[in-house]
Copies of this chain bind each other. A is one copy, B any other.
Amino acid sequence: MAYDYAKYLRAGKIPHIWCPGCGYGIIMKSIIRAVDGLGMNKDDLVFTSGIGCASRLPGYIDANTLHTTHGRSLGFATGVKMAKPELNVIALGGDGDMTAIGGNHFIHACRRNIDITCLVFNNYIYGMTGGQYSPTTPKAARATTSPYGNSDNQFDIAQLAIGAGASFVARSTTYHAVPMEKLIKQAIEHKGFSVVEIIAGCPTGYGRKNKLASPAGMIEWQKANSVNKVQWDKMTAEEQAGKFPIGVLHQEEKPEFIEAYDANVGLS
């Protein structure tokens, strides 16, 4: 029997709006397998998102879904979670949504260590608006607003999250569909703020302009350039150059925000 994704999908909403070969469909399937694998009750499950291609995801999932304004996914998620801490809140968005316009909410959610799972779909570009460079677009890459190649430096989203205080930080790619599913599960189970950065191909906005191969080629690229964290730590700086580590990159025990608050003000 093939996997029954339909259980968590809203009837009649598929096909989704994503372009042919967009990596986001792969992520959506991993998310569904993760929440299904954890046996999560759809009534207690909340997805929030901002604006962008990635942020269209919640519309397809049969849960409590909140498609907010650009960058503000985590702000809304914080309100929902504080009002009803018993809900499982997954906040997601693109690299632009979460780390450009939404960067402040991202670092503060990390700092607070509020028990929200944050999924950053990193396709190295502003997909929805037609391919402008984002804070993660590689140096020298072409985007509609970097006709001479990108001059800007890049965020390492995972390092940013760690620097800001997140207590669980992981990275995966659409090539690693099954490990990604496991990381998402771990992130959801982690008590505190958890970040999973997921590298995904955007053939329309990024691939075309950067003479990257087909959608499949972008997936192969992810495979070729990602290195498991365990192995990464053994590599020299030269060996690491141009590659990125995947897996759980950081995990620590730290007081969760609402628990700490409730204990402090006498609510628990």
A: residues with CB less than 8 A from B are: 100-101, 103-104, 107-108, 111-113, 135, 140, 148-149, 151-156, 159-165, 254-255, 257, 260-261, 263-266
Contacts and interface: CB of A to CB of B under 8 A. Distances in A.
A159 B163 contact: yes
A154 B257 CA distance: 11
Given A148-B266, A149-B264, 16 more contacts: A103-B107, A108-B135, A112-B153, A148-B264, A151-B261, A151-B264, A151-B265, A152-B257, A153-B165, A153-B257, A154-B165, A156-B163, A160-B164, A161-B163, A162-B163, A163-B164
A111 B154 contact: yes
Contacts of A107: 103-104, 107, 155, 160
A135 B254 CA distance: 16
14 contacts: A101-B104, A103-B103, A104-B107, A107-B160, A111-B135, A111-B152, A112-B152, A148-B264, A151-B257, A151-B263, A152-B257, A156-B165, A160-B163, A163-B164
A100 B104 CA distance: 8
A153 B255 contact: yes
A100 B112 CA distance: 12
A162 B162 CA distance: 10
B151 A155 contact: no
A268 to B, nearest CB: 11
A260 B111 contact: no
B148 A155 contact: no
Contacts of A159: 163, 165
A156 B159 CA distance: 14
The 9 closest A-B pairs by CB, nearest first: A163-B163, A104-B104, A151-B261, A103-B104, A151-B264, A151-B260, A148-B265, A159-B163, A160-B163
Contacts of A104: 101, 103-104, 107
